[in-house]
Amino acid sequence: EREAPLASEGGSLVFTGVEEDPETLETLTKLGFKDAVHVSAGIRGWHHGRVRAMRNARARERLTQLTPALLEALARTADPDAAFAQFDRFLGGLPAGIQLFSMLHANPHLLRLIAEIAGSAPRIATHLARSPATLDALIDPGFLGELPSRRQLDRLLRNQLEHARDFEGALDAARRLAKEQIFRVGAQIIDGVAKADEAGPAFAHIADSIIAGLLPVVEEELTAASGTIEGGAFSVIAMGKLGGREMTASSDLDLIFVYDAPPDGESTGTRKLAVTTYYARLAQRFIAALTAPTAEGTLYEVDMRLRPTGNKGPVAVSLESFRRYHKTESWTWERMALTRARLITSSGDLGPKVAAEIATTLCTPMEQAKLLKDARDMRDRLAAQFAPKSPWDLKFARGGLVDIEFIAQYLQLNTAAAFADVLSQNTVEALERLQQRGALPAADAQGLIDAAILQGNLQQILRIAIDATPEFLSTSPGLKGLLVRAGNTQGFDQLEIRLAEAQSAARQIFERILPA
């Protein structure tokens, strides 16, 4: 009661006492809040220490000073009431508030950004509440100014790993850095500093850096117990969205491990291991390093189903086995998946050898009728297994991302024997190269590229903002606004029309190239 009264441009703001202040409710309504009573009650709850972050007197004092600017920032979002509700949840998850409130008081732009995140992207708002270290990173002026480069990421990770006390500390450091940088990409896209089509390469850079930086840490841990394999080498190959540098904020890692070593060798340590056992153990430990929950939570999910012989096969395969399998046994769908294979890291001269084997497999002529039938059959099976619920199921919708990827992969396998330069792990780049080589008419190539870019951009926004395919009858205007910006349209209705037209065009091309 002794505190000075607050005010905003719309009028007075009073959140003391036990009853709602009529003038405050009027001010909140003028600002744009529909449920002024709920907002007022929520803020009074903050001041009464209802949330942990507000149980410190200095935190309450800072929040009091911040409240008018905070409400005005929330009021400028597309849905002020939803933004306030999300900010309330965000505040409730904070262990302490004084640092955040001081930071926001000194940085109005940061206040507006957090309000925008609260109003449009609950997924990363939740991460922000759970990760105080990310709040520290926000103070760095470069954090929101540019996307992280691979060189910068490698330097940051190397510095973190050098200061780790032990193996667990290294895993924690990798998780902190990855989460912080994934948030960084998402925040820049929401802020409009970066475009949605820049997200895929940025997320892939983060994963590449983590994989390349953690592998030596895991190898060192194994070497301490089991020594090394003389003349041995190990490589990590990315597949899927990581391979194509089309990752989203929630993508898992499709990986393959290939090693090369004298087949009859064994490790040099006191616990000697056969070559196959040694590299299987290295692969398993590396997967655990990427996936196991630690004090800093989880890092990535790893999918190994694209390795030779799938889940039934060894977790790491020798170069000779890799070569033999793809020469004599691999299925059409495995060769299609191999079009996205990209080497991330390797030791010795194994990397060029693996790359050469992949290129040899992809450039080996295939029977055209069998390739066409297998590709169409596989797409039909996926359609039956993952029936899309709406056009916003951008991956599996008719004319969605999977249709476009199938076209690119099928045409690459059908063309690479004559023109190896059509090969690219990235779908849009592959379509461009196919068009240049005459394997795809220019109009079809442009239609597919437009549909791929549009749906890829929309998918990036959805994966940054929320955890599931949206039901747009209940989706916040804030998220719709982000999608409209990513789709470069004037409104959400226009965006839905553009999406339907792009999917229809892509599906027509699919039916011409891969007829039933």
For 325-368, how does the pLDDT look when each residue is reduced to its tens digit (9 = 90+)?
999 999 999 999 999 999 999 988 999 999 999 999 999 999 99
DSSP letter, residue 196: G
- The predicted model gives 239-253 an average pLDDT of 96
Residue 13: strand pairing partners = 6
**pLDDT value of residue 142:** 78
Residues 366-422 have pLDDT tens digits of 999 999 999 999 999 999 999 998 899 999 999 999 999 999 999 999 999 999 999
Structure-token match 């769908």, residue found: 333
> 119-128, 197-206, 276-285, 326-335: which has the minimum mean pLDDT?
119-128
Residue at token pair 């060189």 = 151
Q: What are phi and psi of 369, to 5 degrees?
A: -65, -40
pLDDT of residue 245: 97
CA distance readout (Å), 285 to 118, 167, 208, 395? 38, 12, 18, 32
- Cite the DSSP H helix spans in 466-491: 477-487
Q: Do 171 and 294 touch, CB atoms closer than 8 A?
A: yes
Rounded-to-integer distance, Cα 293 and Cα 489, Å: 41
CB 503 within 8 A of CB 391: yes
For residue 3, pLDDT over 50 is answered with: no
Confidence band of 440 (pLDDT split at 50, 70, 90): very high
